[in-house]
Amino acid sequence: MEHKTYHKPTLRRIPEREKWLFRNPEALSSVMQGLREAREGKCAEPPDLEADLASIYSPVEKLLTDEDKARLRATVDRIIDEYGPVLERLGKE
C-alpha cells in the first residue's frame, strides 16, 4: 500500500501595519510594479547623499556656532558612512 504525503499550505499572518497596502489596490499595484522592475534591473540611480546633504548644510552653516557645525558635520559623515555603501550596492545591482 502506497502512502501519499500531503503538505498543508503555510498561512502567514499579515502584520497590522501592512494591511493597508492590501486594502489599497492602487498602492499594491504600484508596489508590485516596483518589485517587477527591480527584478528586471530597472532601478533608478541611487541619490548623491553628499550633494543632497551639502545643499541642506550650506545655507544654514552661516547661522551655526563652531560647535554646532562640528556636530552637524559628524552627523552628516555618519549618515554617509552608514547608508552610502548600501546605496552604491543597490546602484550596481
Per-residue pLDDT tens over the stretch 6-21: 777 777 788 888 888 8
Cβ(76)–Cβ(57) under 8 Å?
yes
User: What confidence category does residue 72 fall into, taking pLDDT thresholds of 50, 70 and 90?
Assistant: confident
pLDDT of 89 > 90? The answer is: no
> What is residue 90's predicted lDDT score, i.e. its pLDDT?
65
Q: Please tell me which of 33-37, 62-66, 84-88 the model is most confident about, judged by mean pLDDT.
A: 33-37
Chain segment 1-59, per-residue pLDDT in tens: 567 777 777 777 888 888 888 899 999 999 899 888 888 888 777 778 778 877 776 77
Whole-angstrom CA distances from 88 to 26, 68, 84 are 30, 29, 6
